[in-house]
Chain A
Amino acid sequence: MVNGKTILVVDDEQHLALASKIRLQSRGYHVTTASNGRQALELIDTEKPHLIVLDVLMPVIDGYACLREINQRYGRGTIPVLILTARDRMKELFELEGIEDYVIKPFDDEDLLTRIDRIFKRREGSTPLRIG
C-alpha cells in the first residue's frame, strides 16, 4: 500500500528515526531520514516531502533553528511540520511558528500515526510542494 506521500523524519537518534521509518513505511508512506538540520534542508530540496517530523530536542543542531530555517526558506506552514518534544519543553511550543502538531516523547506509535493521518486529511486537495 503506497499512498504517494513522502515524510521526512529528522531525529539525531538514528535508531529511533529508523524505527519511525519502519512504522511509517508499513502504512504506505515513503520515508526519508535526516540526522541533523543541515541534512534535513538538503533532503527537503531533493525529496520534496509532504510532511516533516522534526525532533526539536536535537542537541547538536538546534531543532528550533532548523524549524526557523524551514520557515524562512519555504514559508511558514508550506510543508506541515509535526514536532517531537518532551513534557517539560512544552511551554516553548507557544513561541514557535509553523508547526502543525506535536507529540511528546516517549510517544505512542498509534498516536503519531493518527496525527499524521489527520494532518494529511486537513491538507486534502493541497498541491504538492513547489520549490523554486
Chain B
Amino acid sequence: MEPPPLTLLLIEDNPVDARLIEDALTNVSGTAFQLEWVDRLAEGLERLAAGGIDVVLLDLSLPDSHGLDTFTKVHAQVPEVPILVLTGLEDEATAVQTVQQGAQDYLSKAYVVAESHFLLRAVRYAIERKRTEEELRKTNQTLRTLIHASPLAIISLDREGIVKLWNPAAERMFGWTEPEVRDRPLPIVPMEQQQEFRGLLGMVLQGKGVTGVEVRHQKKDGAPVDLSISAAPLSDAKHLIVGTIAVVTDITERKQAERELARLASFAEQNPNPIIELDPTGHVTYLNAAAAQQFPDLSSLGPRHPFLQGLGSVVSALQGGRETLFVREVTLGTRVYEQHLSHLQEDGRLRIYMADITERKHVERLKDEFMNTVSHELRTPLATLKEFSAILADGLAGPTTADQQEYLKIMRGNIDRLGRIIHDLLDLSKIEAGHMTPNRCFLEVLPLVQHVVETMRPVADHKALQLETSLHPDLPGVFADPDKVIQVLLNLVSNAIKFTPQGGRVTIAVDELENEVRWRVSDTGIGIDPADLPKLFEKFHQLHRISDQGGAEGTGLGLAISKRLVELHGGRIWAESHVGTGSTFSFTLPKYHVGEVFKEYLKTGIRLAKQKHGYFSILVLAIEEFNRLRARSGPDAVDRLLKEIEQIVQATVRQRAGDVVVRWQEGETVVVLAEVSKAGSLAIAKRLKQMIEGRTYRMGHTEERISLITALVTYPDEAQDEEELLRVAEERLHRVTRPKPRLLVVDDEPKVRKLLKEALELRDFEILTSANGPEAFEQLKAQPVDLILLDILMPVMDGYQVYHLLKENPRTKEIPVIMITGKGERTDRLLGIEGPSYNYVLKPFQLEDLLTKIQEVLQQTSHR
C-alpha cells in the first residue's frame, strides 16, 4: 500500500546538514515526500502557520533560537504536528527534554545520514504516534465529557475498592462530593453488606462483568437507596485488571412499586377462593394458589375443564359488553361453587372467581328437608285426629249422644284450628326462607272476587252481615298467583266479618291506580285503635278487639302472611281505621301489562337463571286458527279451552322457581321454563303438544280437537335478554302460516335426518326424509314438496348430481333447493349454473340460520 505523501518541514540552519538530510530521505525508495527547508526559526514558524506540514524536523540550535526554547516555540505553534528533533552529539540531554515536553522523538544527525531509512521510519512513526495521541486525547475528552454529564452515576474503583472516579451524577445520587470520596474506600456500602460488596468486587476483578445487580446501599444522609449496578473490569495497557468501572441506577421507586404490586398480588394469591384468569382462547393465564390446589388439572385441560363448560355464550355476552358480570352456580364433583365471571375489555381476558358454597347449599337442603319432614310429621297425626273424630261423629263407631256430638264438634273445631295454625306457620316459614315463589299469571278480578264472596257468604249470613262488592267497570287484569290472592282476600274478609257486629256491612272494592290494581276490604266494625295500627301485620299479633265468635279464632298469623304474600307480588298492604266506625284494609297488585310486567318477569327469570345453570326458555303455544275457532265457538268456550290448556301445562311443567304459565296475546299461552336446557325444553314442548293435541275439548255442543303452533326460544343459546326472547318467539310464531310447508330432507346420515326432522316439525313443517338421491326421487314422484334440503356429501350419487337431475326434470325443476355443504367443499363448482342461483348453508350450521334460510327461500318462491 502506498503510504500517503508527506510534507516535511526541515528547520536547519546548516545547509550542508540540510542537504545531507534531504539526500538521506531521497535515498530511501518508494516514498513520495516533499521537503521544505527553512534555516531560521522565525521562517519556520511562519511556514507552519500556513499549514499543510505533516512533520517538523527540527535542529535545536538555530541562529534565532536555541535549545529547548526552539522546540517549545514550534510545539506551541503547531501542537498537533509531530516534531522530530535532530541533535548533534552534545545536546542529547536537551533532546530528551524535548521528548518529555512533547516531541515525538530525537535522532542524531550523524545517525540519520548513516541510516537514512531510520529517519523515514521515525517520521512515519512520529506521524502515527501523533495521530494516535490525538485520537486518544479526543477520545479521552469525549469520555470525560460523557462521564461528567451522564445522568447515571458512574464510579470507578481500583483493586482495593478505593474510589478513583465519581461523576457528578454520583454526587447527586449519594450526596458525597468528588473530593470527599476520591482515593477513599467506597462510602455507600453499609456495614452489613461489606462482605457481599467484596465478593462482587472480587468477581468483577476476575474479569466477570455484571449487569443489573440489585442492592440496597445508603446515601450520605443515611437514607437507604435501592440500586441497580452494572460493572465491568478495567484493564491497563498490559491487559491486567486494575479496577472496575460501574454504572449505578437508583431504582428505589421501582422497587417500591414492585413491593406494592407484590402486596396487591398477594391478596389474590393468598385468597382461599380460587381465582383464575383466561385469555380469549380459553387458556389459563393466571391461577392463584387455591385454584392450583383445587383444580390441579386446570392448566393441562385448558378450555375443556368441566367448570369452563357452557361458558361460551356467557363469554360472548361479556365480550359484547352486554354484561359486565355474570354469576352462576356450577357443580364439580362433590362441591358446588358460585362462579363470578367478569371480562376485561382491554385484553379480552376473563376473570373467574369461585366461592365454594357447598356448605351453604347443604344447609339449604337440610332446611328444606327439615321443613318437609316437620310438615309431614305435623300433618299426619292431625289428619288421623280429624279422621277419627269424623268417624265418631258420623256414627260409624256406634250411636252418639247429643253431648258426645257437642264435644266432638269442639274437638273438630280445635283440630281444624290446629291445622290452620300449622298451615300458616309452615307458610310463613316458607315465605321467610325465600322458598315461596308465587306462580303468577294473568288474573281477572271479577271471578276472583266472586269466588271469595261465594265462599264467605255463608259466614256473613250467619251474622246477618251484608257482603257487597263494588268493582270498577273495565278493570284490567293483574299479574298474580290466584291461590295467593284468594288467600289474602279471604283473610281480610274473614277478619272483617269477625270484627263487625251483627247487621253490619263488609264491602270489597276494587279500583284501578296508575300501575296497580287496588283492593279494599271495608267493614262497619268496631275499628282499631290507632296505636295498634303499626303492629297489625306482625306475627301473632292478636288485636285487642272484641270478637263475638267465642274466643280468639284466628291464628294470629293471617295478616303477617297476607303482608308477605302481597309484597312477594310487588304490591303494598296497609290499614286505615276509625274506632267505632270501621276499618279498611287495602292492598295493591301490579297490573298485568303483557309488555312491561311480563318482560320484567322474564328479566328476573333470566337473572335467576344466570345464577344457576344459565338456562331459561319460553315456550309459546298458540292455537291454530284461533280467530276462526273463537268466531265459531264463542269467547266463553274459548276462554274455558285456554284455561284447560293452562291447567294441563301447569301440571306437566316441572314447577320450580321461575316456571310459570301465562296467558299472552290472542289465544297464546306462554310457558316459562327456568333451568331447562334447550334439549329439555324441546322435549317438554313436544310432550305438551302431544298432550294438548291428544285430547278433545268441549267447545259449545261439540267435542273438538285443536292444533297447536309452538315457538321455543332459549336463553342463552338463542337470545340474550328478555326483549330478544319475546321478539324471537313472536317471529317464529307468526312466521308459520297454513298450510304447513312440506320439506324433503336428503342426507345420508340417519342422525342428521332425525335431528332435522324433529327440529323442523316442531317449527311446524311437514318433513319427509330420504337417505340418497334415488330415494328422494321416489318420494318426489309420490308427493310434491315446497323445498328440498340437500346434503352435498353423499355416497353413490352426490348432492351436485342430484341437484342437476332435479333441475333437468320438468316436474321438479321449480322446487327450490338449499344445499348443505361443508366448509372447504368446492361450492364454486356450482357457480355458473343456469337458472335461479343456488342457496346453501354451511356445515356446521345453527338451526336458526337454517330456518332463516328456509323462510327466505320459501318467501322468494311465493313471490315469483
- Chain A residues close to B by CB (< 8 Å): 13, 15-16, 19-20, 22-23, 26, 57, 88, 90-91, 93-94, 105-106, 109
Contact = CB atoms under 8 A, between A and B. Distances in A.
B386 A23 contact: no
Contact of B388 (A19, A91, A105): A19
A105 B383 CA distance: 9
B283 interface: no
A106 B383 contact: yes
A19 B391 contact: yes
7 contacts: A16-B380, A19-B391, A23-B396, A90-B651, A91-B651, A91-B655, A106-B386
Nearest to A105: B383
B394 to A, nearest CB: 8
A13 B380 contact: yes
B328 interface: no
Given A13-B380, A91-B652, A109-B387, 5 more contacts: A15-B384, A19-B384, A22-B397, A23-B396, A26-B396
A120 to B, nearest CB: 21
A19 B387 contact: yes
Interface string B366-395: 000000000010011001101110110010
B653 A91 contact: yes
Given A22-B397, A23-B391, A13 B384 contact: yes
B387 A16 contact: yes
Nearest to B650: A91
Nearest to A90: B651
B654 interface: yes
A16 B383 contact: yes
Contacts, number: 42
B384 A91 contact: no
Contacts of A19: 384, 387-388, 391
A83 to B, nearest CB: 14
Q: Is the interface of B mostly helix, strand, loop or mixed?
A: helix
Contacts of B419: 106
Interface of B: 376, 379-380, 383-384, 386-388, 390-391, 394, 396-397, 419, 651-655
Contacts of B396: 22-23, 26
A129 B262 CA distance: 82
Please name the 3 residue pairs, one residue from A and one from B, whose CB atoms are nearest each other, closest first: A19-B387, A15-B384, A26-B396
Contact of A94 (B376, B383, B391, B651): B651
A130 to B, nearest CB: 31
A33 to B, nearest CB: 14
Contacts of B390: 109
Contacts of A94: 651-652
A93 to B, nearest CB: 7
A2 to B, nearest CB: 16
A106 B418 CA distance: 14
A94 B692 CA distance: 13
Contacts of B391: 19, 22-23
Most chain B CB inside 10 Å of its own CB: which residue of A16, A19, A88, A94: A19
B400 to A, nearest CB: 14
A16 B383 CA distance: 8
A91 B391 CA distance: 32
A3 B384 CA distance: 27
A93 B651 contact: yes
Nearest to A94: B652
A91 B383 CA distance: 23
A126 to B, nearest CB: 23
A90 B650 CA distance: 10
Contacts of A90: 651
Nearest to B691: A94
B651 A15 contact: no
A45 to B, nearest CB: 29
Nearest to A20: B387
Nearest to B387: A19
A105 B419 CA distance: 13
Contacts of B651: 90-91, 93-94
Contacts of B397: 22
B652 A15 contact: no
A94 B651 CA distance: 8
B641 to A, nearest CB: 20
Nearest to B373: A59
A14 to B, nearest CB: 9
A106 B653 CA distance: 23
A13 B652 CA distance: 29
Contacts of A88: 655
Nearest to B375: A86
B648 to A, nearest CB: 9
A15 B654 contact: no
B336 to A, nearest CB: 23
Contacts of A26: 394, 396
A121 B652 CA distance: 28
Contacts of B383: 13, 16, 105-106
A22 B653 CA distance: 37
Contacts of B386: 106
Nearest to A14: B384
Residue from the set B380, B390, B652, B655 with the largest chain A CB neighbour count within 10 Å: B380
A88 B295 CA distance: 39
Contacts of A105: 379, 383
